[in-house]
Amino acid sequence: MAAAIEVSEVSKTFRIPHEQRTFFKEYFLHPFRRPSYERNEALKAVTFSVESGEFFGVIGPNGSGKSTLLRILAGIYVPDSGRVRVRGLLSPFIELGVGFNPELSARDNIRMNGTLAGLTKRELEAKFDDILGFSELERFVDQKLKNYSSGMLVRLAYSIAIQIPFDVLLLDEVLAVGDEAFQEKCFATFDSFKEEGKTVVFVSHALDLMERFCDRCLLLQSGMVQALGSPHEVADLYRERVLVG
Ligand SMILES: Nc1ncnc2c1ncn2[C@@H]1O[C@H](COP(=O)(O)OP(=O)(O)OP(=O)(O)O)[C@@H](O)[C@H]1O
Ligand SMILES: [Mg+2]
């Protein structure tokens, strides 16, 4: 079976600026001094592939590069070096808040996201109720998103993402702010993704969910691949090496 995602030697470095000219007079004393930068290597030669139909987990401590990796897969960030290939339709949803306009209502955001994803007016019409129904936000459909709670936002974002046709879904911490009832609904959709052969990349700090749903797991640490294998082995390694120290 062809790989749905191929990541080869991907590196990404951010620059952290350090402002040396703390005092106003230093602008006059050192007018040509440039601010210095520290290099922050968020991803270092990351290589792996995800099979089509696989439920693939990414774990690692805060700042280890998980979201950066997903943003590169989504095409939001461009890697400094290396190659990324994603086959099939990529769902636009990646993490909470991305792609939403907080000044618009849920109704308008659903329309906007659906249109951007290429749905025709008729398709959008047909899906609108399903999206709203899954999110259970009917009462709040005309409220601006800036007044939504973080749980309501994630409900809406997830509901839109799964109603738009996709082959590859990238989920970054989507369940962290959803309540238990919504999490259970999401788990049911995870099971159907598996039956339908969809490819999912799932980032979460909940190791029990990794072990429950993932076929394989990648452990990132300081931007490097530390382990790749069965969820149990990788989660155990993470618990031993990283969490205990
Ligand atoms: N747009 C950006 N500009 C500068 N630095 C960034 C940017 N995005 C990410 N970084 C840096 O890259 C590193 C990895 O961040 P990333 O968000 O990928 O971590 P993460 O594994 O998703 O962490 P968390 O578990 O907290 O979500 C961090 O040091 C972060 O500061
Ligand atoms: Mg993150």
Tell me the per-residue pLDDT of 28-44, one tens digit each, with 9 for 90 and over: 777 776 667 888 999 99
- Report which protein residue has its CA nearest ligand 1's atom 30: 63
**What is the pLDDT, as a whole number, of residue 87?**
95
Q: Sorting pLDDT into bands at 50, 70 and 90, what band is 70?
A: very high
Cβ of 71 below 6 Å from ligand 1: no
Residue 133 placed within a domain: yes
Which segment of 57-66, 176-185, 187-196 scores lowest on mean pLDDT? 176-185
Residue 31 placed within a domain: no
pLDDT tens column, 74-83: 998 999 999 9
- Report which protein residue has its CA nearest ligand 1's atom 2: 14
**What is the pLDDT, as a whole number, of residue 26?**
66
- Ligand nearest to the Cα of 218, by number: 1
Q: Is the pLDDT of residue 226 over 70?
A: yes
Residue 186 placed within a domain: yes
- In the chain, the percentage of residues whose pLDDT exceeds 70 is 91
Q: How far is the CA of 42 from the centre of ligand 1 (A)?
A: 7
The DSSP-derived string for 117-142 is TT--HHHHHHHHHHHHHHHT-GGGTT
**What is the pLDDT, as a whole number, of residue 29?**
72
Between 129 and 174, residue with greater pLDDT: 129
Please state, rounded to an integer, the average pLDDT across all residues of the chain: 90
**What is the pLDDT, as a whole number, of residue 173?**
87
Residue 159 placed within a domain: yes
* Reported pTM: 0.90
Distance CA 11, CA 8 (A): 9
- Report which protein residue has its CA nearest ligand 1's atom 9: 68
pLDDT tens column, 84-102: 999 999 886 666 667 789 9
Q: How far is the CA of 105 from the centre of ligand 1 (A)?
A: 29
Name the domain count of the chain: 1
Cβ of 60 below 6 Å from ligand 1: yes
Q: Which helix (H) or strand (E) holds 216?
A: strand 216-221
For the CA of 12, the closest atom of ligand 1 is: 12
Cβ of 109 below 6 Å from ligand 1: no
Q: How far is the CA of 124 from the centre of ligand 1 (A)?
A: 34
Question: What domain range is 225 assigned to?
Answer: 53-81+88-243
Q: Is the pLDDT of residue 149 over 80?
A: yes
Residue 150 placed within a domain: yes
Q: List Cβ neighbours of 138 (8 Å cut-off, separation of 6 or more).
A: 132
Point out which residues pair with 85 in neighbouring strands.
6
Q: What is the CATH number of the domain that holds 169?
A: 3.40.50.300
Q: How far is the CA of 67 from the centre of ligand 2 (A)?
A: 4
- Report which protein residue has its CA nearest ligand 1's atom 26: 62
**What is the pLDDT, as a whole number, of residue 27?**
66
Q: What is the mean pLDDT of the segment spanning 52-79?
A: 95
Residue 158 placed within a domain: yes
Residue 238 placed within a domain: yes
Residue 14 placed within a domain: no
